[in-house]
Amino acid sequence: ISNSIMIFLLFLISFSFGNAASINKTETDLSTCVKEFYTAVYSENYNCTSQYNFASNNETVAQKSLISGKSCALEILGKACTQSQFTEIFSKFENFVKSLTTEPKDKNCIDSYYKYNALKCMESLNSLGEKSKLILQMQPKINDSRVLKLIDQCEGFKTCMSSNCYYFKTEVSIVSFCETVKMSNSEFKACEWKIERESPDLSEYECLEGDDFYDPAILNKYRFYTKMKDCTKEIMMDICGEKAVVGFEKYAELSADFLIKKNAKGYVGVFKFAKSCFLEVAKPECSSSQYNLLSTKYDDFLKMITEEPKSVTSCESFYFKYNSMKCIPIMMDITHKVVPLAQKHLKVNDSRLVALVDSCDLVKACMSPLCFFNDIEKSMITEACNAIELRNTKFSECISEIQKESPDLSEYKCLKGVDFNSKEPTIQIDKFSKNKACTKQIMEDFCGKEAVENFDEYAEITAEKV
């Protein structure tokens, strides 16, 4: 769930008008090409990349690598870019390198530098997902160099995200993602793999209460990390020794969480087709594993998703995990609609804005039941939706209008010579805090009284968001 929220936020942030700058139109947008470039770098499909650190978070290192590895970089770019993109890069290679590796002095969050680095982070995340799937399937030994490299890359990914204007407050989910990667290098995981490989006879364990520890069904595995975790701990300790259960609580929680996330897509599918599967009308709709799960445990399953636990002592129940999935497609839908609108000048009640606000109401209603989302997640979603709602006000329309028209504001002494449309964060903050009386005056003169209704409230929200 947190991953979806992360992606959701990623795009909404660029939607708040504070960031909705007019992009320098004379500059070619190289995003698609930059994205493909980093995909190739992380995939390690080109032999020449191993000598260079093109994706280093240390910009000095990245810059030097790109310059000294120019022929390697161009080889990749030749495949990753369209002809016109490549021509542009080829003719101004040093500028291109600079746009990837040199943060603008005014830290404006608008420059293509930020977009390119956001793409770098995203591609790092994608490759982490791909590589961990491949490597972990092989159940590597502790300190396997490929796993250590993955852990390093995850740390790099965290750094990448933390220094990027395109992301904020997402550390929560990233930390847990990297913890999962780190866990694969633990005695805990090594023991799980050992048990899986050797399948020792566990029938004498009374704590199993007759259940099959090896049943691969997700519901079963999940239970062994939650309700029945004490039994799991006992088994692991007996088979692998004390060292395997160091940090057991944390690892069990991470594993349970990971199971849910990994299967989020499958769950939505199961949920959608559950009824028809059950009735065996649409047997071909289900994958065989879905079908097996449903046919053997369907009653449990149905109960879990339809019966809210009577007394809520914790939010662990599957009821919450499954049902909160319903909200994800709405969030994804908003995300897709927000992207093309981010940079546009929009008037109040623009049908596209209204549709977004409506979808946000749906998300808020969807997430409201107890335990569907935790407090951090809820406040993140609410904040993102507030940004959308604020975009649909005369206040935002006016700011965007002033940005678009760039009127001569030199007669406003209260500006004290500051550029009203500057994207520099400190100026933006001042504009809506210390110097907001001046801003209010300009907005009122330029757009009329309507634009400054609720001015103080909106200004406060805006200043906080910069």
Ligand X SMILES: *[C@@H]1O[C@H](CO)[C@@H](O)[C@H](O)[C@H]1NC(C)=O
Is 67 a residue that touches ligand X (CB under 6 A)? no
The least CB distance from residue 143 to ligand X, in Å, is: 4
Nearer CB in complex with ligand X: 24/292: 24
Q: What is the DSSP string of 335-397?
A: HHHHHHHTTS---TT-HHHHHHHHHHHHHHHHH-STTSS-HHHHHHHHHHHHHHHHHTSHHHH
Nearer CB in complex with ligand X: 179/450: 450
Nearer CB in complex with ligand X: 26/83: 26
Nearer CB in complex with ligand X: 349/379: 349
Is 228 a residue that touches ligand X (CB under 6 A)? no
Is 463 a residue that touches ligand X (CB under 6 A)? no
CA 117 – CA 165 distance, rounded (Å) = 9
Nearer CB in complex with ligand X: 111/377: 111
Q: How many CB atoms lie within 10 A of CB 354?
A: 12
What number of chain residues touch ligand X (CB under 6 A)?
Answer: 11
Is 102 a residue that touches ligand X (CB under 6 A)? no
Site for ligand X in 335-364 (CB under 6 A): 348-349
The least CB distance from residue 337 to ligand X, in Å, is: 19
Contact window for ligand X (CB under 6 A) among 9-17, 19-27, 101-109, 294-302: 19-27
Contact window for ligand X (CB under 6 A) among 58-66, 82-90, 117-125, 380-388: 58-66
Is 21 a residue that touches ligand X (CB under 6 A)? no
Terminal-residue alpha carbon distance, the chain: 26
The least CB distance from residue 269 to ligand X, in Å, is: 37
Query: Exposed, middle or buried, 385 (CB in 10 Å: 0-12/13-18/19+)?
Result: buried
CA 151 – CA 155 distance, rounded (Å) = 6
Nearer CB in complex with ligand X: 61/207: 61
CA 71 – CA 67 distance, rounded (Å) = 9
Nearer CB in complex with ligand X: 106/211: 106
Is 27 a residue that touches ligand X (CB under 6 A)? yes
Tell me 140's DSSP state: P
Is the Cβ–Cβ distance between 55 and 62 less than 8 Å? yes
Is 58 a residue that touches ligand X (CB under 6 A)? yes
Is 142 a residue that touches ligand X (CB under 6 A)? yes
CA 7 – CA 4 distance, rounded (Å) = 5
The least CB distance from residue 116 to ligand X, in Å, is: 15
Is the Cβ–Cβ distance between 18 and 395 less than 8 Å? no
Is 71 a residue that touches ligand X (CB under 6 A)? no
Is 292 a residue that touches ligand X (CB under 6 A)? no
Output the CA torsion 195→197→201→205 (10° steps).
Answer: 20
Query: Exposed, middle or buried, 126 (CB in 10 Å: 0-12/13-18/19+)?
Result: middle
Binding site for ligand X (CB under 6 A): 24, 26-27, 47, 58, 60-61, 142-143, 348-349
